[in-house]
Structure 1
Amino acid sequence: MHSFSDQTGNSISLLNFPKRIISLVPSQTELLYTLQLDEEVVGITKFCVHPEIWLRTKNRVGGTKDVKFDIIEQLQPDLILANKEENVKEQIEYLSTKFPVWVSDVEDIQSAYEMILQIGSMTGKGVIANELAAAIAKGFSELHSFAPPTKIPVGYLIWKNPFMTVGGGTFINNMLDVCGFKNVFASQKRYPEITIEDIKQSGCKALFLSSEPYPFKQKHIDELQKELPGVVIKLVDGEMFSWYGSRMLPAIEYFKRLIQEVLLICNN
């Protein structure tokens, strides 16, 4: 019997390496695939779009906010992976009375590394997890040389009607920071609602429109540009900013290109 503490301070006990894993977190589902746990993963959510083959072939247990207890009971998992922010507390507490549930709470790069290593340890994939975490750490250390000497003030929108942004204590805020961007709404908590006027008064030089959870498009840039003529407005890949796990590896090259593009536009 082995005991593992999750990132919310709770502990679970596993007799052996799990053989029937359910993931309720899209980014951690992709991590399980990277850790070569194809046979072990028996259930995922409808939002676990990577890898695409799993979305087509694995049992779906509902969404991140509305898990299907009956399907989970039928699958009889010996490990469920959840997340403090993405899943509903009451649903996770109920599942915890029946199955081992390990809950992540990722707010920055360091806690992302810890999540990767712990899941690797729990599933018997410690070697692969260590290699992945080391590669990500190396890549992010190199990213500093691409970052601007003075942080560029930026805003980051995740929703429309009402507009919502990211505040401090979020993984996205940490990603912006390591890229050399200064989140103009970092003093606010979590995911606050804001107005066009708030953006105008924030002093941001660039405004990023995320591809998720709201699917911002070019038409939204056109609409906002009329209100914010002096601000660089750019569509960004939300998965690169918010998917902690193996997605962080390709995110490094994406961030390098983004930094260069923003610097080029802002300096002209």
Structure 2
Amino acid sequence: MLVDAAGVRHAPAGPEPRIVCLVPSITELLCDLGLAERLVGRTGFCIHPWETVRTIPKVGGTKDVKLDAVRALAPTHAIVNVDENTRGTADALAAFVPHVVVTHPCGPLDNLPLYRLLGAIFDRETEAEALCAALLREHDALAARDWPARDVLYLIWREPWMTVAPDTYIARTLALVGWRTLPRPAADRYPEVALAEVAGAVDRVLLSSEPYHFKERHIAEVSAVLPDAAVELIDGEMTSWYGSRAIAGLRYLGERAGG
């Protein structure tokens, strides 16, 4: 049954779909499913694989989609995400795009139904199953190891400092290697945090490359407040991007945690 994250049932797309994707990681996934030629629009943040997507028209950002630009492309399908895009955008698209596919992976294994949903809608079942097998290999390799529990602070923003709650895709990915995100629990999915309040309680601070692009100079800034924690940069695409990048992401995470 081809049912998306909003509970909407979709039929197979047919031989010539016109897809606008408003989710960077899923744009990459569509390309890896062999659907690059069917992509007619993307956001400015959809940058992978660059040599493939650079010629695809941009329709704004993930939160500020240019609806007139999308309309001009006459898509048959628009792909959106609960966290990346706004409900208002999805509702507006539904007024003129025949099929709006809503996605919402909340953990690494949610990539399996994501691959299969898009593979079935766009006639790429074989490619989707190959991705499923690759993801399961990486996931099972992490699950087979006995990872020591570590309390980590994963920072995604500065001024104010912001982190991730335990119910996010990022936190559930980090949990595969025993990294428990602080604070626990959190009322918001992406809460503000005062660094001084977690002093002495955190083993490791991870400074993500996105959405705020932390750099080497920020390591000293955080270390000054949290001198007992190991502070390091981490590739946010590898920890937060679902879709096909999650396969390499799990391998990357295992290498970082085991190092």
TM range (shorter): over 0.9
Partners of 2:218 and 2:165 in 1: CA distance: 21
- The equivalences for 1:1-268 within 5 A come to 4-13=2-11, 16-99=14-97, 100-148=99-147, 150-188=148-186, 189-200=188-199, 203-261=201-259
Sequence identity, in percent? 35
AA aligned to 2:243 is G
Partners of 1:49 and 1:114 in 2: CA distance: 24
Q: 1:44, 1:58 within 8 Å by CA — same for their partners in 2? A: yes
Question: Which ranges in structure 2 are unaligned for 5 or more consecutive residues?
Answer: none
Cα deviation for residue 259 of structure 1 reads 0.7
Partners of 1:117 and 1:161 in 2: CA distance: 39
Q: 1:146, 1:256 within 8 Å by CA — same for their partners in 2? A: no
Partners of 2:256 and 2:13 in 1: CA distance: 45
C-alpha distance after superposition, 1:225-246 (max 9, x if no partner): 1111110001000001110011
Q: 1:166, 1:186 within 8 Å by CA — same for their partners in 2? A: no
Question: Which ranges in structure 1 are unaligned for 5 or more consecutive residues?
Answer: 262-268
AA aligned to 1:72 is V
Cα deviation for residue 56 of structure 1 reads 1.8
Partners of 1:49 and 1:57 in 2: CA distance: 11
Q: 2:156, 2:208 within 8 Å by CA — same for their partners in 1? A: yes
Q: 2:155, 2:161 within 8 Å by CA — same for their partners in 1? A: yes
- Return closer, same or farther for 1:13/1:128 CA change in 2, 3 Å cut-off: closer
SS of the residue corresponding to residue 41 of structure 2 reads strand
Cα deviation for residue 111 of structure 1 reads 1.9
Deviates further, 137-146 or 97-106: 137-146
C-alpha distance after superposition, 1:194-239 (max 9, x if no partner): 11122216x1100100000000011100111111111000100000
AA aligned to 1:82 is V
The structure with the greater share of residues assigned to strand is: 1
Q: For this pair of structures, how many residues does the alignment match?
A: 257
Q: 2:153, 2:202 within 8 Å by CA — same for their partners in 1? A: yes
Alignment RMSD (CA, Å): 1.5
